[in-house]
A and B are shown apart, each in its own frame.
Chain A
Amino acid sequence: MKKTKQLFAGATLATLGLQSAHADYALNLMQGVTKVSHDIFDLHMLILWVCVFIGIAVFGTMFYSMYYHRKSRGHKAENFHENTTVEIIWTIIPTIILVAMAIPATKTMIELDNVQDSEMSIKVTGKQWYWDYEYLGTGVHFESHLDAASEKAHRDGSDPHGVPHYLLNVDRPLVVPVGKKIRFVFTSADVIHSWWVPDLGWKKDANPGFINEAWTSVDKPGTYRGQCTELCGRDHGFMPIVVIAMEQGDYDNWVKTTLAKQEEKPDLSDQSREQLMANGAAVYLKNCVSCHQIDGAGAPGDYPALRGSAKVNAGIDPLIGFLQAGTSKMPSFAKLKDNELAAVITYIRNAPELGNKVGDEVQPKAITPVYDDDDK
């Protein structure tokens, strides 16, 4: 039957001309780039071979019997219906195999669980639908969203084949040094998420109101990709994870430049209308599109439309205040810098793709803090 299956799969593929597709027909678990991930891979292979071995024995017996003990070959049925010795043997052998499996599994489990003696800690907060990374004690803190190219492609229904790392790319990856024991603490701001990078060997749930821990120590520099693995709502499929592991020196430099960038004051000078619209579109794609959608139509029953919305199309000041304060349903966007807020407000009031046309523009200077940032 397996042959038939392969043949059939082959034939189907050939007719569809899939051979030229980008994908590889990956079959097995990846080995990963940490010691734990290697241990897990070894356990996986061990239990897989145990299953293959038992499978060959059981299915072999069955198929032998199906061939030789069939009525059409004139085989006469025997009448036995129990055999205590055999039954004891096939209870004891699996028990021994299980005990033998449990020993290395226990070792790896304990290793996986041991977050002691870590050299640095990163707090990961899952949010609908992006990750928030805070390097504890260093001041580095940023959000990591699906990158703009993937975001656009999956929303406007265009062909994703040309998009680099479609759905597995982010605007700001998590950067870590190699060879250091890193402790992660996980939590969530809304629903349960789960943070998984297969190359690190594990996933861990991010539960709202609680802290989970896990650790890793990456062996070699590289870029490792993963995804949220706990269903977290509409855009669960669109909150990837990218981890870049680099040598300690490069990492130290990255921390320095990142901190410097975080300190930078935003450019609050007036912008041209085109600039405002272009920046606004980018801010919208990152922060608003999940709920209000790429055409501003919202999601009936869940999220209101911006298209033709009275709030969006009326006065500017109430709109600024609304965005900064948020509501019980919409998070506050006071985290946006004044130039970003100005741009996105200009964009939602004027973007033809959202169907609004107020015909004005909002400059960064017009944004006044209605709601103090530190209160949230």
Chain B
Amino acid sequence: MSAVTAEHGHDDHHDDHAHGPEKGWLRWIITTNHKDIGTLYLLFALAMFFVGGTMAMIIRAELFEPGMQFVDPKFFNSMTTMHALVMVFGAVMPAFVGLANWMIPMMIGAPDMALPRMNNMSFWMLVAGVLLLASTLFMEGGAPAGGWTLYPPLVLQTGKALPFAIFSVHLLGISSIMGAINIIATILNMRAPAMTLMKMPLFVWTWLITGFLLIAIMPVFAGAVTMLLTDKFFHTSFFDAAGGGDPVLYQHIFWFFGHPEVYVMILPTFGVASTIIPVFARKPLFGYSSMVYATASIAFLSFIVWAHHMFTVGLPISGELYFMYATMLIAIPTGVKVFNWTATMWKGAMTFETPMLFSIAFVVLFTLGGFTGLMMSIAPVDFQYHDTYFIVAHFHYTLVPASVFILMAAGYFWLPKWTGHMYNEKIGQLHFWLSAISVNILFFPQHFLGLAGMPRRIPDYAIQFADWNMISSIGGFIFGASQLLFLWIVIDTIKGGTGEKVSDEVWEDAHKHGLEWTLPSPVPYHTFSTPPTVIPCDHN
């Protein structure tokens, strides 16, 4: 345990030979600065969060009452498909890459990312990919409507949009791989000399592991969609039984990508939670090394459980049993993490600022999502749960009040450091309570709907599902509207926030927990041009 005080910090921000940002709007196009690119990623992700959210509102509006009221069934399917793709590839993943860009160099005492020009390129390729994807909404035959999983043969019935959607997946994949390479290279090569691997903040650890996941899986997804492309346009039959192929093969390949992919969204979430909770519990993170090993175990397991998404496609009994056992195992490292967070809070001196509130809600609600995950790992019972609203509730619990809440928490936690301004705590708390209550009104009843027999991805439903659907929609509208408060807070904080002077460490004793809090607020354009010599490390 050691505290870093201002003396070494001075050297960093007196680096006057370092030039500042480019003047004018061109700065944002050509920047290679990790903070600028981090900001670009985060703002882009926020914009896409609202685009994807608008699609969710259309879905919930159509499902508000039984009967078809607003949209055509095909467009409804496009909405569920695009909502997922935009949220996964446009909002959650880029938001975590944005956080990685901003925070990893500052957390490990590096001046910038290892590959700054590639960093710029991966951001703009992401924008190109998402815009290309969005453009399919306006094409003949509409946007892809076969679900985000793009299962053949259904997805091959897509109109003109299919090759564009596939190319967009390629772009997004290249962007992700470049981002991952950059993050891994930064973490492995750019750490301050005293920053050993086992002193790294958990957020850095989780991203290191996530980086490897991304490099392993994105080429697999690219391969799968390329096979779709050749099946459709070049007369191959990878997924067509008439030519000796098998549509289920696609599902195996897709989920070999898809299951690690969902962990790409949750592992950095764990990292941020493990960073925030100790600060507000005023206590070191409990079980640092078991957190690292648990993250690595979860990442490893994510590669050998893929067919639990496919229990009902007709696997042999040995396959059903193997994938059931392997999936159940995930509960162990995940449980360790939840227990560790609880133990971190235990006998601390907790305060409940907005980032802490979101983090606690994350632990509770992610655990609920974990419970339903455990329930669905029981293969025979999954023959009932599969493809119903039960699974919709499950993965939304692990994504919205987990990943999205933690992204909000990260925003509140680091915005004062980034901008030098304090956000409005009252509005922050209001945003939290509205979100935390409405997200449960939105998703909890979906468990009941699934158990009562409502399939997912249907635009209209039988009368007995009416009441819970209406409640869910009401929760959805409140949740959607509440997020405008977050937008307001981000803008307000950038413009000056409460006007309160923010100290370097922002949160009480935060400097004991991470290097970023030893830097001035707002953070100068260039930091750690010379590496720090003293590393705050509260766990050994």
Contact = CB atoms under 8 A, between A and B. Distances in A.
Interface string A1-37: 1001100110011001010011111111110000010
B247 A113 contact: no
A69 B74 CA distance: 53
A347 interface: no
Interface string B375-398: 100111101101110000000000
Given A59-B364, A71-B282, A234-B73, A78 B466 contact: no
A198 B133 CA distance: 37
Contact of B350 (A69, A159, A204, A210): A69
A237 B464 contact: no
Contacts of A72: 351
B6 interface: no
Nearest to B452: A26
A69 B349 contact: yes
Given A62-B342, A76-B349, A205-B313, A109 B320 contact: yes
Interface string B430-470: 00000011001100100010011101111111111111101
Contact of B66 (A166, A204, A209): A166
Contact of A106 (B147, B321, B331, B335): B321
B380 A43 contact: yes
Interface in B304-321: 312-314, 317, 320-321
Contacts of A55: 367-368, 371
Contact of B67 (A30, A66, A158, A230): A158
Contacts of A44: 375, 378, 381, 384
Contacts, number: 324
B284 A79 contact: yes
A368 to B, nearest CB: 31
B158 to A, nearest CB: 10
The winner among A36, A54, A226 for most chain B CB atoms within 10 A is A54
B346 interface: yes
B440 A65 contact: no
Contact of B324 (A79, A86, A102): A102
Contact of A229 (B66, B159, B387, B474): B387
Given A9-B441, A196-B455, A157 B69 contact: yes
A231 B320 CA distance: 22
A71 B350 contact: yes
Interface stretch (A88-96, A280-288, A317-325, A336-344): A88-96
A208 B345 contact: no
Given A71-B282, A158-B67, A204-B314, A77 B384 contact: no
Given A47-B375, A51-B375, A231-B146, A69 B345 contact: yes
Interface in B353-409: 360, 363-364, 367-368, 371, 374-375, 378-381, 383-384, 386-388
B448 A26 contact: yes
Nearest to B316: A113
A157 B463 contact: no
A108 B311 CA distance: 14
B99 to A, nearest CB: 24
Which of under 10, 10 to 19, 20 to 34, or 35 or more describes the interface residues of B?
Answer: 35 or more
A173 interface: no
A58 B451 CA distance: 25
B66 A160 contact: yes
A61 B342 contact: yes
Nearest to B74: A234
A186 B367 CA distance: 37
A7 B139 CA distance: 46
A235 interface: yes
B72 A233 contact: no
Interface residues of A, number: 112
A8 B437 contact: yes
The winner among B66, B77, B347, B384 for most chain A CB atoms within 10 A is B384
B384 A81 contact: no
Contacts of A54: 371
Interface stretch (B285-293, B498-506, B520-528): B285-293
A192 B248 CA distance: 9
Interface string B263-286: 000000000000000000111111
B380 A69 contact: no
Contact of A101 (B160, B328, B386): B328
Contact of A207 (B313, B317, B441): B313
Given A9-B471, A91-B336, A113 B320 contact: yes
A193 to B, nearest CB: 10
A351 B320 CA distance: 52
Nearest to B376: A47
A210 B73 CA distance: 28
Interface in A147-201: 153-155, 157-161, 165-168, 186, 190-192, 194, 196, 198, 201
A261 interface: no
Contact of A201 (B67, B247, B286, B384): B384
B159 A302 contact: yes
Contact of B463 (A8, A160, A229): A160
Interface stretch (B22-30, B185-193, B238-246, B481-489): B238-246
A210 B245 CA distance: 10
Contacts of A123: none
Contacts of B290: 82, 87
B438 to A, nearest CB: 9
A77 B448 contact: no
B194 interface: no
A75 B240 contact: no
B464 A191 contact: no
B441 A229 contact: no
B471 A12 contact: yes
Contact of B466 (A23, A36, A61): A23
A364 to B, nearest CB: 34
Contacts of A192: 151, 153-154, 247
Nearest to B461: A167
A136 interface: no
Contact of B288 (A30, A47, A81, A191): A81
Contact of A299 (B74, B240, B345, B440): B74
Contacts of B74: 233-234, 299, 302
Contacts of B363: 62
Given A26-B448, A62-B345, A105-B378, A210 B314 contact: yes
A77 B283 contact: yes
B540 to A, nearest CB: 8
Nearest to B474: A12
B347 A210 contact: no
A140 interface: no
Contacts of A62: 342, 345, 360, 363-364
Contacts of A23: 463-468
Contacts of B325: 102
Given A94-B331, A108-B380, A81 B284 contact: yes
A141 interface: no
A94 B332 contact: yes
Interface string A347-374: 0000000000000000000000000000
Contacts of B352: 66, 70
B286 A81 contact: yes
A159 B461 CA distance: 12
Contact of B470 (A18, A61, A230): A18
A1 B437 contact: yes
A91 B383 CA distance: 29
Given A47-B378, A190-B153, A300-B140, 5 more contacts: A13-B467, A28-B451, A80-B286, A83-B343, A161-B66
Q: Give the 8 A-B residue pairs with the shortest CB-CB distance, closest first.
A: A209-B241, A237-B458, A301-B141, A212-B314, A202-B383, A51-B371, A81-B284, A26-B452
6 contacts: A23-B464, A75-B347, A161-B463, A208-B241, A210-B246, A213-B314
